[in-house]
Amino acid sequence: MTIEPSRQQLIGLRTAPVIRGEVGGAWRTAGRVAIDETRVHHLNVKVGGFVEHDHSTFIGKTVRRGEPLFAMYSPELLAAQEEYLLALRTSRSLAQGGAEGAGTALVQAARRKLELWDVPAAEIARLEKTGEARKDLTFHAPASGVITKRDIVPGMRIEAGSMPFEIVDLSRVWVLADVYESELRHVKVGLPATLSLKAYPNRPFKGKVVFIDPLLDPKTRTAKVRIEFANPGGELKPEMFGEVLLHGARTEGLVIPADAVIDSGTQKVVFVAAGEGRFQPREVRLGDGDGRHVEVVEGLREGEQVVTGANFLVDSESRLRASLAAMASGAKPAPPGAAGAPPAAAPAAGAGDHAQHGGH
């Protein structure tokens, strides 16, 4: 089809050359901050008893490893302490009577029982030194982090095997991102990533891909990609949403502006300037893209000019002319994307079989 220069200027028609360059290397997607499941710690109570005292704990409180959480009275634990003290006295008596070492096995068995119930070594040492059994035992935080579960009330009974406290270490977190199946070939474990949040608009967070879900969501056609971020200051909070930029290797080849491509749903078409105001529709096969530029695998040659501005108006006018010509001749109008009977696609140098990449 031919468009007069005056009309080209009126509709804002612009062209850009097909050049050899690099494209791709970065893919954007949405991400959600999540807890690192390997940094979730539970306090496991191995002996039953009653809660005596709560050390001012609450959900959301930050605690350090070894910090006291609550104290519990346990008749079984009190009896075990008395057994250990009896074993110590018996062993000493036997040693004074000349049977040194005869009570060692008894002492070791009683001590082992306390250790299996997670009685701290310092508490056992105190017991040996003072010879006095304590009524209650204080339980301490198994790790530094934030309390996310607290199931205790003073006076309540706790059964053996229960886990009344959960503590999550947020010094390192995950960001879960959805990556379309067409882009999964670019994503590898170890790939660097950048997270941008509305809460911190001028502060990008650096992380890396640590896991790619082997299963695809059949509804969204995406796979979950797990990205790990250091979070020493706690700025990244679980359930925050942000934009993730995955940084990969760039592809070299023939490149055109992404807005030069008209996608009919069944084919990708560009309009090529043929000189003297003439423009030809050309079907192309695309490779990688980064949202601004896209690689052309087949259909164009280096140096050709493609329409980048008002290309949809050119496409509409081309279809209209083809339909009018078809009506005048009594033939069927050309299908969408096939206006003007595009010439045979010109092969691109070094063209291979690549899947189209669509940035988002």
For domain 5-31+178-212+248-347, is the CATH number 2.40.420.20?
A: yes
Asked if residue 139 lies in contact with residue 117, where contact means CB atoms within 8 angstroms, the answer is no
One fold for 5-31+178-212+248-347 and 39-168: no
For domain 39-168, is the CATH number 2.40.50.100?
A: yes
Asked if residue 77 lies in contact with residue 117, where contact means CB atoms within 8 angstroms, the answer is yes
Distance (Å, rounded) from C-alpha 359 to C-alpha 252? 17
Burial class from Cβ neighbours inside 10 Å (0-12, 13-18, 19+) for residue 220 reads exposed
Residues 227-286 have pLDDT tens digits of: 999 999 999 999 999 999 998 777 788 988 888 898 877 888 988 988 888 888 899 998
Residue closest to 41 by CA, chosen among 164, 175, 174: 164
pLDDT tens, N- to C-terminus, the chain (360 residues): 777 677 766 777 888 899 998 776 778 899 999 999 999 999 999 999 999 999 999 999 999 999 999 999 999 999 999 999 999 998 888 877 666 666 788 899 999 999 999 898 999 999 999 999 999 999 999 999 999 999 999 999 999 999 999 999 999 999 999 999 878 888 999 999 999 999 999 899 999 999 999 999 999 999 999 999 999 999 999 999 999 999 877 778 898 888 889 887 788 898 898 888 888 889 999 887 777 888 899 999 999 998 887 655 665 656 655 555 565 666 555 554 444 444 444 444 444 444 344 444
Q: Inter-axis angle of helices 104-116 and 121-130, to 10 degrees?
A: 140
Dmax over Cα atoms in the chain, in whole Å? Answer: 125
The DSSP 8-state label assigned to residue 300 in this structure reads: -
CA distances from 225 to 12, 21, 30, 212, 355 (A): 42, 29, 11, 5, 21
Q: Where are the domains positioned within the chain?
A: 5-31+178-212+248-347, 39-168
User: pTM score, two decimals?
Assistant: 0.66
Distance (Å, rounded) from C-alpha 241 to C-alpha 175? 9
228-247 burial, b if ≥16 CB within 10 A, otherwise e? bbebeeebbeeebebebbbe
